[in-house]
Amino acid sequence: MGRSEASVARSAWTRKTRSSGVPEHRAGVLPLPAPGERIGLIAGNGRFPIIFSDNARRLGFTVTAVAHVDITLPELEHHVDRIHWVKIGQFNKVIKALKGDGVRQAVMLGGVKKVSLFDVRPDMRAIMMARRVKEWKDDVMLREFAAEMEREGILILESTFGLGEVLVERGVLTRRTPSDSEWEDIREGWQVARDIGRMDIGQCVVIKDGVVVAVEAVEGTDEAILRGGTLAGNGAVVVKRSKPQQDLRFDLPAIGPGTIKTMQSVKALTLAIEAGRSVILDRQDMIAAANDSGITVVGITDEDVTREG
């Protein structure tokens, strides 16, 4: 690994103190892995696990993946050093696989559609973990999962670990910029997305001319865009952001070429995504597709939607 890559890796290991409701011993700098060490990957759907694995190996890490049958892309096995396949709910197998490979730190990347959870056949360990949970909400369940992993000596890292270059930056990312009316919809959609996130409903809102036509729930972002865009007709605005209480270890908002393809199919015109807390998958392909379709992609923060104009 060259000097420049080593510098990138070193910067990826450092994490500042955050008041995110996680155990006190997480404050400050975590005992993160160094290049040459093994890191675990608990993989859901989509290309995010593949992009992480490629980058982690480029930085000198060895990657052990635990992938989920019928959810994780099979091609992941060609991008990791070792892979174990499990079914949703086989929590004990996840732990055994990671511990068996000597994994002490891991990331959780890629989603699992909530509708898939209706088919879960949990093992006894998953059942016991579920009994300790007071609320059946995503964040609560995931935090308990991470706590159980930690009790087994496996620390769950932030999902942005080593991936600073795929985070959405602030500003317009495409040739086309939002119109004044689209900025109005972005501001309104941003507030609505914050509210549904606070209630742990979803991350995405579809809006047109000040009217919210769809909010994401169990169906996921693409289906919400299809539903909202069909109702709105040409020119819908899509807003996606993290939850106000987002634990950065889990379920960061992600966009990619598939998002643009879905927007194209319903002639949605603008995509506003939270800067610094969201990721772009296959960036070059996504931006090229957006430019070819005349779709705007813009990274925003609270500051952008609270100012006038």
Confidence of residue 137 (pLDDT cuts 50, 70, 90): low
Whether residue 28 is predicted with pLDDT greater than 60 in this model: the reply is no
How far is Cα 23 from Cα 238, in angstroms, rounded to an integer? Answer: 35
Residues counted in the chain? 309
How far is Cα 264 from Cα 233, in angstroms, rounded to an integer? Answer: 12
Whether residue 113 is predicted with pLDDT greater than 70 in this model: the reply is no
More confident: 218 or 33: 218
Quote the pLDDT of residue 197. Answer: 92
Quote the pLDDT of residue 134. Answer: 72
Give the tens place of pLDDT for each residue, 171-223.
999 999 999 999 999 999 999 999 999 998 899 999 999 999 999 988 889 99
Give the tens place of pLDDT for each residue, 57-80.
998 999 999 999 999 999 999 999
Quote the pLDDT of residue 258. Answer: 95
Strand 296-300 versus strand 270-274 pairing type: parallel
Whether residue 18 is predicted with pLDDT greater than 60 in this model: the reply is no
- Mean pLDDT computed over 139-149: 83
Whether residue 244 is predicted with pLDDT greater than 90 in this model: the reply is no
Residue 36 burial class via C-beta count within 10 angstroms: exposed 0-12, middle 13-18, buried 19 and up: exposed
DSSP, res 114:
G
- Mean pLDDT computed over 92-107: 95
Question: Closest Cα partner for 168 from 177, 160, 176?
Answer: 160
Strand 204-208 versus strand 237-240 pairing type: antiparallel
Structural domains for the chain: 3-28+35-156 (3.40.50.20), 167-306 (3.40.140.80)
More confident: 277 or 272: 272
Above pLDDT 90, what percent of the chain? 58
Quote the pLDDT of residue 138. Answer: 66
Question: Closest Cα partner for 231 from 250, 212, 251, 256?
Answer: 212
Confidence of residue 32 (pLDDT cuts 50, 70, 90): low
More confident: 286 or 17: 286
